[in-house]
A and B are shown apart, each in its own frame.
Chain A
Amino acid sequence: MSESTTYTGFWQESPRPGILGWLLSTDHKRIGIMYLTCIISLFIVGAILGLAIRLELIAPGETIMGAQTYNATFTVHGIIMIFMFLIPSIPAAFGNLLLPIQIGARDVSFPKLNLLSWYCYIVGAILAIIAIFSGGGAPDTGWTFYVPFSTQTTTNVNLAAFAAFMLGFSSILTGINFVTTIHRLRCEGMTWGRLPLFVWTLYATAWIQVLATPMIGITLVLVILERVFGAGLFDAARGGDPILFQHLFWIYSHPAVYIMILPGMGVISEIIPTFARKPLFGYWAMAFSSLGIAFAGSLVWAHHMYASGMSDFAVLIFSFLTFIVAIPSAIKVFNWISTLYKGSIEMAPPMLYALAFIFNFAIGGLGGLALGAAASDIHLHDTYFVVGHFHYVMFGGGGFALFAAMHYWLPKFTGRMYNHKVAVIGWALLFVGFNVTYMTMQAVGVAGMPRRYYDYLPEFTTLNQVATAGSWVMGLGLLIMFVNLWRGMCSGRRVGKNPWGATTLEWEVPSPPPLENFGEEDPVVTKGPYNFKGVVADEY
């Protein structure tokens, strides 16, 4: 170790002391840490609500809460997990922490805008929490806010929709910042062909954030107008159309799925080469498949609506486009696995999470085929199969990728290592519990149990009990993982620059990185991102 034992990098170097040094900081790393803290806190709240949902469903009838509370619980669980956890998770937290360093920049293009986007996020999150405890009570519409129910319910939909609107603004600002940063601030020698794949996925994601998020903002404002002023746009009795809302909603919310998963794919594309000590297989295929997913993924929104009453011709078109989007996803999986071929594979905790990601994402993606085909979707739509499916993609994919990123990069940003054995135990519990819970949900959905059901027929009892038991294993795994990471970050063994023997630029600066990342001289890049020749991992 070259640093002195008291070195703490950007944790101490700040123009302002104390808490203001954080709340007014424009340092991308500090903003990244603030995002990460909020995101993980809200994830824990969302996860507790999820466990409560599972507990309620352990038996038919009332178990721990009434129907209205249950409906509010799954609504708030969805709003937190999607708008406050998944969408900002990897881009806003790890994107902020890493993007500038990975392209050899000292910060993002618009550091003040970056801080503003964090404030939009916080205001949105606070408004959402106020919405739960004020007015007519917690919203009970589901995170999808479908009309006409959302325009009629007396619960606090207005404030919740406005909160999501604010969170959308945060996302747009981050997207603008990242696109500009990647175009303008690459260091000397950092050509497009030398960008780490994580940067490519952030780039694709940022375009979706900028182009699609305004749609949800407008749509939610229309819901508020409908509720407050009776605008009538979605009211069939006055010539409006409830199905129009679904189109507007999914034009954003389907691409949003790719906001949640693409950066996760980027994380996996960083981790697998490092722990196989081989360049990522098919660099350009990986880069362009990210752009392909972002583009094609923007054209498939109505596959959520085969049963909605829209025309059969629309079903034909959207089903076709949906299958097209499956192809770049398949390419990614094949390329990750080929990277392992004749590598030198170390099963460190980040690698375990990355491999679990591939497995979970494969199940989620393959399940998506049955939902994309018109005939089979008619049976599976709005059943628990869909609930299982999107948890496989969002949590098994996006969530596991975030956990992989935390195990991979937190040592970089705190300069300390967690306990590997405990990490493996946490991972194993999480992985097993996850699959028991959501595979069972898929099964109960195929058997015909609809989603968003407070109560269910006795024939579904056994499978629901298995899923609930799985959720406890998963909860225990999460607890062990978070405690282990927290202890590691506070008091773990110190690590040097490059504990994993990785090759991207962030591993060439001290751990934790200093303010402005690089010393006096800007870095100059002379080779591709995954050249492992001569790179040695620091002992720790």
Chain B
Amino acid sequence: MNPLTNPTAQAVDEVLIYIFGFSLILLLGITAVTIYFVIRYRRSKNPEPTSDVAHSFWLEAVWTLLPTIIVLTMFWYGWVNYVGLREVPEGALEVKATARMWSWQFEYPDGRRDNKLTVPVGTPVKVTLVSVDVLHSFFAPAFRIKRDMVPGMETYVWFTATEAGTYDIFCTEYCGLGHSDMITTIEALNEEEYAEWSKPAAPSGEPRGLIVINEQGCTGCHSLDGSEGIAPSLFQLAGQTRRIVVNGQTKEITVDEDYLKRAIRDPESEMVEGYDPMMPPYDSATVSDADLQAVIDYLLDKETEPAGPDAKQLLEENGCLGCHSNDGSIIVGPSFKGIGQRQVTVERDGKKVTLQVDAAYLRRALLDPNGEIVEGFAPMMPAADYLPEADIDTLVEHLLQQTGD
């Protein structure tokens, strides 16, 4: 073990050295005494036993009590330092880590996503851990931290990088075929580098589809260059034929937009022959419709329109979903479900008016929400007039498509 200066590693190493030290002394003692007895009392020299003592209360009491005391100190030391691993220092930077077979995704407070964990030197980082499929485990040996990632549960680890550098992250809970490839790194940057990194990303030359593919960790299983991996390669898909298995029947299809959509949204329904159904489905909460289109266009080698604002993301980012549900339930305001073809009764200037929802109404509802209040609801929605015109257009278009099915 290299001497490490970060707080979590020090807490663990103190206990390790204490226990390994005692263990080594005990092992050497036991072994030396055994070897001494075996030589000293060998039969050729000691043809008959020279003692028949078969028990000794005091001796046995001593070697019961002494180990008891020693192991209890080990227990306590281990516990106290473990508590240190669980108590996150104040002011920690929060990053969310999502594990899936077999890739990592880190989401930063500003919404950016990456498959590496980039952190500033000297600041505690709390990593919230979630898994979308099976058990995984976040293990960073240099920081001596580890925690399982359990579907349906949020766990965490924390660490502080005290020196700039690249540190390994391993998955340590067996998760199938790609388990040992599920490796990424912590990039600990010093102040200037981190400031540079955390600037809003300049629009890169990369097509949106490729960015999404990298963010989502698709390349953990699918190569982009035609090489065989755990899953079929994504190299030059346009016009290729694939043999797929649907409900146990094999058929041949040509790769097209519809097929790719199904393969991403619901991969298990149509598996390429010879591959195991291991891929997790990517729903629209994970990959928005616009991003899905961008990925497909990239894979089919089409030009992608620069992605406009994404409606679902806008709804989430602007907190709309805190009051308006997508599933028909009433939280505070009316649900978005079916809003596109709804008739509403509103109170306008003290008069009740029934009208059909259309683009003009939705625009008014966004920019001047309290001008017309839907019957039964309170006038409390803030105006969305701070949004750029393009975002309003996107939202109106999206809401009109909500037909209720």
Contact = CB atoms under 8 A, between A and B. Distances in A.
Interface string B135-161: 101010110111110111101000000
A355 B22 CA distance: 22
Given A327-B67, A366-B23, A243 B12 contact: no
Given A242-B135, A370-B16, A370-B23, A154 B276 contact: yes
Interface string A4-36: 000000000000000000000000000000000
16 contacts: A154-B277, A236-B151, A236-B153, A242-B150, A319-B79, A342-B46, A343-B37, A344-B47, A345-B37, A366-B23, A366-B26, A367-B23, A377-B78, A379-B145, A382-B137, A448-B141
A195 B82 CA distance: 44
Given A374-B78, A378-B146, A369 B49 contact: no
- What range describes how many residues of A lie at the interface? 35 or more
A345 B59 contact: no
A532 B153 contact: no
A339 to B, nearest CB: 9
Contacts of A320: 75, 79
Q: Select the residue from A243, A326, A331, A375 with max chain B CB neighbours within 10 A.
A: A375
A327 B68 contact: yes
Nearest to B68: A327
B151 A379 contact: no
B145 to A, nearest CB: 7
B180 A453 contact: yes
A499 B173 CA distance: 51
A452 B49 contact: no
B64 interface: yes
A378 B144 contact: yes
B31 to A, nearest CB: 6
Interface in B59-97: 59-60, 63-64, 67-68, 71-72, 74-75, 77-86
Contact of A373 (B15, B86, B155): B15
B85 A331 contact: no
B48 interface: yes
A237 B281 CA distance: 14
Q: Select the residue from B12, B47, B84 with max chain A CB neighbours within 10 A.
A: B12
A335 B59 CA distance: 10
Contacts of A67: 177-178, 180, 230
Contacts of A280: 54
Interface stretch (B164-172, B313-321, B375-383, B391-399): B164-172
A538 interface: no
Nearest to A370: B19
B49 A276 contact: yes
B43 A369 contact: no
Contact of A345 (B14, B41, B60, B79): B41
Contacts of B81: 374-375
A476 interface: no
B51 A279 contact: no
B307 interface: no
A326 B38 contact: no
Interface in A370-387: 370, 372-383
Given A152-B134, A453-B179, A345 B46 contact: yes
Contacts of B144: 378-379
A518 interface: no
B23 A309 contact: no
Given A334-B63, A375-B15, A382-B146, A149 B54 contact: no
B78 A319 contact: yes
B174 interface: yes
Contacts of B77: 373, 375
Interface in A69-98: 71
Contacts of B177: 67-68, 71, 140
B75 A532 contact: no
A514 interface: no
Contact of A277 (B1, B27, B48, B148): B48
Interface residues of B, number: 86
A505 interface: no
A375 B78 contact: yes
Nearest to B75: A323
A432 interface: no
A369 B71 CA distance: 8
Contact of B146 (A342, A370, A379, A457): A379
Nearest to A316: B79
- 5 A-B pairs closest in CB distance: A236-B152, A373-B78, A448-B141, A374-B82, A366-B23
Q: Select the residue from A242, A374, A455 with max chain B CB neighbours within 10 A.
A: A374
Interface string A297-339: 0000000001111001001100110111011001101110110
A355 B38 contact: yes
Given A362-B26, A450-B170, A355 B34 contact: yes
Contact of A457 (B43, B64, B168): B168
Contacts of B137: 307, 382
Interface of B: 1, 11-12, 14-16, 19-20, 22-23, 26-27, 30-31, 33-34, 37-38, 41-43, 46-56, 59-60, 63-64, 67-68, 71-72, 74-75, 77-86, 133-135, 137, 139, 141-142, 144-148, 150-153, 155, 168, 170-181, 183, 230, 276-277
A342 B170 contact: no
Interface in A505-540: 530, 532
Contacts of B52: 278-279
Given A340-B37, A448-B170, A327 B64 contact: yes
Interface in A99-137: none
A344 to B, nearest CB: 5
A153 B134 CA distance: 10
A277 B49 contact: yes
B41 A344 contact: yes
A441 interface: no
Nearest to B65: A327
A307 B148 contact: yes
Q: Select the residue from B31, B51, B54, B74 with max chain A CB neighbours within 10 A.
A: B54
A295 interface: no
Q: Select the residue from B11, B31, B50, B150 with max chain A CB neighbours within 10 A.
A: B150
Nearest to B72: A323
B344 to A, nearest CB: 35
A481 interface: no
B79 A532 contact: no
Nearest to B155: A309
Interface string A348-378: 0000000100110011001101101111111
Contacts of A331: 60, 63-64, 67
A341 B41 contact: yes
Given A367-B23, A456-B180, A379 B133 contact: no
Contacts of B27: 362-363, 366
A127 B55 CA distance: 49
A64 interface: no
A285 B55 contact: yes
A230 interface: no
Contacts of B168: 448, 457
Given A149-B135, A376-B16, A452-B179, A330 B67 contact: yes
Nearest to A381: B146
Contacts of A327: 64, 67-68, 71
A179 B145 CA distance: 45
